[in-house]
Amino acid sequence: MLSIKDLTVNVNDKKILKGINLEVKAGKIHAIMGPNGSGKSTLSHILSGKSGYEVTGGSVTYQGKDLLEMPPEIRAREGVFLAFQYPVEIPGVSNVYLLKAALNAVRKHNGLDEVDAMDFLTLVKAKVKALEMDEKFLYRAVNEGFSGGEKKRNEILQMAMLEPKLCILDETDSGLDIDALKIVADGVNSLRSPDRSFIMVTHYQRLLDYIKPDFVHVLAHGQIIKSGGPELALELEEKGYGWLEEAAA
């Protein structure tokens, strides 16, 4: 599904990612953990095509294609979805309008007809219900005045509507209370399928109690310094990142 090779990235001439290697197979869940400032969001942004980063080396191949060549909207239409760490507020554009525009853009790209207005409403209302959101959120401006938890839930709503193939969740657990965390985790789990992969960026073990990863990677100072199975997350929870960073230094 996704293959990242020796990826190096600069921001304002500062080296942020210093040679990332990662293979994500279809149907797998990868957790990327690491201390603040280690480059997790940078990696998420690079995968979704945000500008302002300079790729200085390496490659990213997604479903056999060069991902870095694609503009952000093409990546989205090809099935890459980023749930933002800090979702953006868009005053004046309603949630339902964006969801419809996004869904139709993806469908059109994949040779499907635009979604029928009634079918769309039925679909979106079902997803809203599953995420225990108030239907009123659909008619409010995207993320405007939403609480931290509401914004995160809204990201998962968009993800559920677009049914991407590669879901990148950047600190989706932060700002969520335990009930909201469970609802979001249920939302993610219900999307699990043999042909859909997840990259879950987090710096706490907490989310991984509800969404079981297949692999755990530790990102520190722009490099993956250790990879393992789910048990690695537990070890990190217990010992922190210090011992790994020392070992890597």
Partner 1 sequence: MSTALNDYTASYSALALPGQDLPWLQQLRADAYTQFASDGFPSPREEEWRYTNVSALEKKAFTPLLAAARAVDADFIKSYQLADAYSLVLVDGYFSAELSLLADLPDTVQILSMADALQTCPEQVAVYFGKAVTSNEHGFIAFNNAWFTDGVFVHIPALCVLDKPIQCLHIVTQDGGLATTRNLLVLAENAAAQWLETFVGADVGYLSAAVTEAFVGQNSELTVYKVQCESAKAYHFGGLYIQQARDARCTHHNFAFGGLLARSDIHTDLDQAAECELNGLYLGVKRQHLDNHTRINHLKPYGISRETYKGVLDGRARGVFQGRVIVAEDAQLTDSQMNNRNLLLSADAEADTKPQLEIYADDVKCGHGVTVGQLEEKSVFYLQSRGVDEETARNMLTFAFANEMVDKVNLPLLKTLLVQLVLQHFPQNSYVD
Ligand X SMILES: Nc1ncnc2c1ncn2[C@@H]1O[C@H](COP(=O)(O)OP(=O)(O)O)[C@@H](O)[C@H]1O
List of residues contacting ligand X (CB under 6 A): 11-12, 14, 16, 34, 36-42
Q: How far is CA 25 from CA 94, 194, 215, in A?
A: 35, 10, 11
List binders of partner 1 among 94-133 (CB under 8 A).
97-98, 100-102, 104-109, 114
39 binding partner (options Mg ion, ligand X, partner 1, none; Cβ < 5 to 8 Å by kind)? ligand X
Nearer to Mg ion, 40 or 152 (CB): 40
CB of 17 to ligand X, least distance (A): 8
Among 48, 154, 197, 205, binds partner 1 (CB under 8 A): 48
Contact residues toward Mg ion (CB under 5 A) are 40-41, 85
Nearest to 165 by CA among 49, 25, 4, 7: 25
Size of the site for partner 1 (CB under 8 A): 34
CB of 115 to partner 1, least distance (A): 10
Note every long-range contact of 207-215, with CB atoms under 8 Å and residues 24 or more positions apart, other chains counting: 207/172, 207/173, 207/181, 208/31, 208/233, 210/181, 210/182, 210/185, 210/186, 211/29, 211/185, 212/29, 213/29, 213/30, 213/31, 214/28, 214/29, 214/30, 215/28, 215/29, 215/30, 215/31
Q: Footprint of partner 1 on this chain (CB under 8 A)?
A: 48-51, 71-73, 75-77, 81-82, 84, 87-88, 90-93, 97-98, 100-102, 104-109, 114, 141, 158, 162
